[in-house]
A and B are shown apart, each in its own frame.
Chain A
Amino acid sequence: MKSHDDKGIPHTSPRQSATFTQDVNSDIRRAAATGIYDIRGGGAKRKVPSFDDLLFMGASISRYPLEGYREKCETSVTIGGLHAENPIHLDIPITIAGMSFGALSGPAKEALGRGASAAGTSTTTGDGGMTPEERGHSNKLVYQYLPSRYGMNPDDLRKADAIEIVVGQGAKPGGGGMLLGQKISDRVAHMRNLPKGIDQRSACRHPDWTGPDDLEIKILELREITGWKVPIYVKVAGARPYYDTTLAIKAGADAVVLDGMQGGTAATQDVFIEHVGQPTLAIVRPAVQALQDLGMHRKVQLILSGGIRSGADVAKAMALGADAVAIGTAALIALGDNDPKWEAEYNALGTTAGAYDDWHEGKDPAGITTQDPELMKRFDPIEGGRRLKNYLKVMTLEAQTIARACGKNHLHNLEPEDLVALTMEAAAMAKVPLAGTDWYPGKPGTGF
């Protein structure tokens, strides 16, 4: 590039717009070429305030730590003891979030069940019903009750260890879904009572109830059908966490599953994923506040999801008041999704390992988010299950490491007082002091 013109006058440096970035420009070009919005899977990719903006302080003179590998640090959690005859007891507070058979292959669902069971936790069905592979390999299986009711039947309902009424999903609060025709195999079509090859729309709201008063009656019906035996969770997106949590508890939920905008989806509009919903960090304190205001904290369990990746994230969620977390995207990565070993094939699809998010197209090189029999052969559910178990164990060990360092003999004993925030935003959202101060936005300082 020439630095001067023909008269010797210097050019100014080419300057990229902060508004019209290369990414934005590529979106505009794609829209102009196709006339349709971009559909993709996954959760929000934009940078949002997150658990990375929090730090644990660890023990000091005022608090003493527990000995790593020697002194006990409990991780178990019981979910659903308030109303259900048979609450769920989990060894670790990290559960597997709902992901549908249809979006995922049968072997991938089997692997989730294998890994979760080996690690002592639960897995969850999705929009598309319960498969025998998943039920058979999941010691604890949560059955999602979704607006579409694809595959919903009372026999499977009674086989579930818990029921999760899905109101919303963090990636798309207020949105339904669409499983495109190319992923509708004979088996998927049969389970959903629809012809093969056509797009299958998942409704955005339940067909037979609206609002909190109806929800209370719906919960009553599901309890009557299942004899009041199993816990009933209510899953909401991180839209209005204080009010949604309050209403779910008042409707009679045993647990509230709260999903932030980093939480994934099988497919929806990119604009929806990136511009609707709230970050996981921002939704946990309002939900805990709702539980506390009703005297229900630790009685109705709060399961937090949306971008949970590590034991540090687990510990931070616990410290802010969650009882457990759920992972989805992280579990798929543990199974082998977006693995660089498939880089050449990702390149052929116009992407790269780590960025592949066209899960709805059914071309997943890793053979996980597909119904293509040839691609599915690449995925071994036994090996996948082993990898997920390992990952869950590591997350648990990491969370225990932090808890012991904070002097806690149970992950649930972590508390907001163990945390500081690195940014003003995180301090305001988590209601923990900005590092080096005794203050967070909205709280007057006391001058130590």
Chain B
Amino acid sequence: MQTVDLQELGLRGVNAALHAQAADTNQTVWTIENAKGSHAIACGLDAPIEVTVKGSTGYYCGGMNQQATINIHGSAGPGTGENMMSGKIIIEGDASQYLGATAHGGMIVVKGNASSRCGISMKGVNIVVQGNIGHMSAFMGQSGNLVVCGDAGDALGDSCYEARFFVRGEVKSLGADCEKKEMREEHLTLLQGLLDEAGFDFKAEEFTRYGSARNLYNFDVDNAGAY
């Protein structure tokens, strides 16, 4: 296992070392100590390595991640996992706003709560939150799945496209063009798989599905009042 001290090596030194790992590297397990809320830790990784960050992180930890698994042993700052393509990010604490913004793939697991705009403009990522999420989550969500084991704040899924939302608790309000959907067998199978992968002991049957009513997909002046 490789252990690096962020304060000693500096952000550039740590990220350069992680970026240098090839797909067949033997150095597959890394620990970053003394994170101290630094920004852009372990962003732009592109190798099947496992990185554990000790402490809380600032903005954009794991940004644009490909292949890597990143464990954050603390809370995560804004934009964690933004535009992630693949791999996995596991946050032991809470996540700040814009979690997984525009992320295309992979999975983000939050063991605490996630703040506002969780999954904003998501493009294929799977986000599973054990606690609650804040307002305007999954705004303009294009595809992927957002699973919330607690409650969702105001305006869930506003102006969403084909992203799916599964909420176990209460939804304070739904955003424009977001509606409650029928939970069919394929959704139960999909959701149970996501919960199992995230390691959360909930039953898919306890959740409600939400998604786009598709009324705003093509501009119609008669819908102008909905915006």
Contacts and interface: CB of A to CB of B under 8 A. Distances in A.
Interface string A419-447: 00000000000000000000000000000
A23 interface: no
A221 B101 CA distance: 14
B63 A221 contact: yes
A228 interface: yes
B162 A195 contact: yes
Interface residues of A, number: 34
A65 interface: no
B140 A208 contact: no
B58 interface: yes
A208 B98 contact: yes
A209 B82 CA distance: 11
Given A193-B124, A194-B142, A227-B16, A221 B59 contact: yes
A154 interface: yes
B44 interface: yes
Contact of B143 (A193, A203, A226): A193
Contacts of A350: none
B219 A180 contact: yes
A209 B98 CA distance: 8
Which of A34, A195, A203, A225 neighbours the largest number of chain B CB atoms within 10 Å of its CB? A225
Q: Is the interface of A mostly helix, strand, loop or mixed?
A: loop
Contact of B102 (A35, A149, A199): A149
A221 B102 contact: no
B221 A220 contact: no
Interface in B95-116: 98, 101-102, 104
Nearest to B98: A208
A309 interface: no
B26 interface: no
Contacts of A194: 142, 161-162
A378 interface: no
Contacts of A276: none
A198 interface: yes
Closest 3 CB pairs of A and B: A225-B44, A208-B79, A149-B102
Interface of B: 11-12, 15-16, 19, 39-40, 43-44, 46, 58-60, 63-64, 66, 78-79, 82-83, 85, 98, 101-102, 104, 117, 120-121, 123-124, 139-140, 142-143, 159, 161-162, 217-219, 221
